Amino acid sequence: EDQVTQSPEALRLQEGESSSLNCSYTVSGLRGLFWYRQDPGKGPEFLFTLYSAGEEKEKERLKATLTKKESFLHITAPKPEDSATYLCAVRNSNTGKLIFGQGTTLQVKP
Amino acid sequence: DADVTQTPRNRITKTGKRIMLECSQTKGHDRMYWYRQDPGLGLRLIYYSFDVKDINKGEISDGYSVSRQAQAKFSLSLESAIPNQTALYFCATSSLGGGASTDTQYFGPGTRLTVL
């Protein structure tokens, strides 16, 4: 069964304190791992897509990496505006459907 | 202007009422989706449509129906609302184009539905 597990569920950081969010997955044929950011009361905002193990993508203070079993979202020197819920999803290559994790809620304090 | 719009943004209704949520997009995408989001359960797929004549059930379609009125419009109906359908509902769109960003889903702002 396809499954996505994100950890931790919640993370509190001080401004400037770097950390990583984890997304572990099992899927019968991976056709993309997606990271989204979701602010309270808003829809998920697309961040990255990773397709193969070893691939990395960066955007400002965020860097996403991918292995055969998990993905990490590294946050370097976070700012309060990085506070949000970060969602991970994988696409099954057979069905084409996205399977979402439950998200990690990040709070960055000034 | 937003690429994916949803109406209404908030709705409170009573058990047994019929309700329709609407989604419109200006992204020119051919694929559209409806999800619901519940605390602790993440996003779950209700229905999806790959073009105007194609409608498919997702993992939690019971109690819901959809209509794809045009390439840009996809509506979700609750024929007889019940309290456990209280949730955040999101519409998403994607396009099976070429390149590395193939079929990335882009989400609307959501509709908060409360069924009393």
Please list every residue in chain B whose beta carbon sits closer than 8 Å to the beta carbon of residue A46.
104-107
Please list every residue in chain A whose beta carbon sits closer than 8 Å to the beta carbon of residue B105.
34, 46, 98
Residues 46-65 of chain A whose Cβ lies under 8 A from any Cβ of chain B = 46, 49, 51
Nearest C-alpha neighbor of B37 from the set A1, A103, A109, A83: A103
Per-residue pLDDT reduced to its tens digit, B74-83: 999 999 999 9
**B105/A98 CB distance under 8 A:** yes
Per-residue pLDDT reduced to its tens digit, A12-67: 999 999 999 999 999 988 889 999 999 998 999 999 999 999 999 999 999 999 99
The residues, ordered by sequence, that sit 6+ positions from A44 with a Cβ below 8 Å of its Cβ are: A36, A37, A38, A87, B43, B90, B107
**B40/A97 CB distance under 8 A:** no
Residue among A41, A91, A102 minimizing CB distance to B40: A102
